Amino acid sequence: MGDDLDQKRERLFEAAGPLFERFGYRKTTVEEICRAAGMSKKTFYELFNGKEHLFVEITTEMMNRTAEAWEAELPDGLDPLDRLYALLDLYVRIVREHPSLRVFFEDIDLIRIFGEKLDEIRLIQIGGPLHTILKDGQASGQFRPMDIRVASWLVFTLLDTVYLMLPSLMDMPGALDDPVLAEETKQFILRGLGAAPAEDRR
């Protein structure tokens, strides 16, 4: 029974993902998702409370899959600062490849549900990539002493603000469209962590 439910969830994920990316979260309906998955609305609501829960689940799985692949492919021997640079690049790649992430800042219900999932999201969770990078960097002296949990939260809050929130809520170019903002954001994070930029490490 459990395997059957997992297969149905996967079918809904596979059907809904392209619809969300093509038409956006708001314009995609449960009916369209069910039709694409060859599944009834009754089955859909047995698995998810609504479209918003499905969207959050898809996003969580996407971020975890991407983070795990990134960690597996990361070259050996990188110091914490190089890994931080690579992680910042990963964040930008995720946002660029999944513009539908901006919808989180347009829907209060999505923000709430996503917030309930934070402990499951590999990028953000305690023990995830950034947490490990900051811990290792602090131990090696590359980063200043800090509360790693708070610092991780601040880094992602800043990234989400300049890459996702600005274009969604304030009708302003985000860091994807403004290279100066992107570079200043990166330097702000590095300086805030007490890290010297790569060009200063000669």
Mean pLDDT for the stretch of residues 196-200:
56
Tell me 192's DSSP state.
Answer: H
Q: Is residue 202's pLDDT more than 50?
A: no
pLDDT of residue 115: 86
Residues 100-124, buried b or exposed e (16+ Cβ, 10 A)?
bbbbbbebeebeebbeebeeebbbb
Question: Do residues 102 and 59 touch, judged by C-beta distance below 8 A?
Answer: no
Q: Is residue 27's pLDDT more than 70?
A: yes
Question: Tokens standing for 38?
Answer: 């060859």
Question: Do residues 137 and 193 touch, judged by C-beta distance below 8 A?
Answer: yes
Question: Do residues 8 and 16 touch, judged by C-beta distance below 8 A?
Answer: no
User: What is the C-alpha to C-alpha distance for residues 129 and 66, in angstroms, rounded to an integer?
Assistant: 12
Query: Residue ranges per domain, the chain?
Result: 1-48, 49-195
* CA atoms within a 13 Å half-sphere pointing along the CA-CB vector of 107: 17
User: What is the C-alpha to C-alpha distance for residues 192 and 157, in angstroms, rounded to an integer?
Assistant: 13
Q: Is residue 198's pLDDT more than 60?
A: no
* Residue that the structure tokens 């956006």 belong to: 24
pLDDT of residue 171: 81
- The distance from CA 196 to its chain's CA centroid, rounded to whole angstroms, is 25
pLDDT in tens, 116-135: 888 888 888 878 999 999 99
Could you tell me which CATH class the domain 1-48 is placed in? Answer: mainly alpha
Q: Is residue 2's pLDDT more than 60?
A: no
Question: Tokens standing for 10?
Answer: 């996967």
pLDDT of residue 86: 96
Helix residue ranges, H only, 2-50: 2-23, 30-37, 41-47
Topology (CATH level 3) of domain 49-195: Tetracycline Repressor; domain 2 (1.10.357)
Q: Structure pTM?
A: 0.87
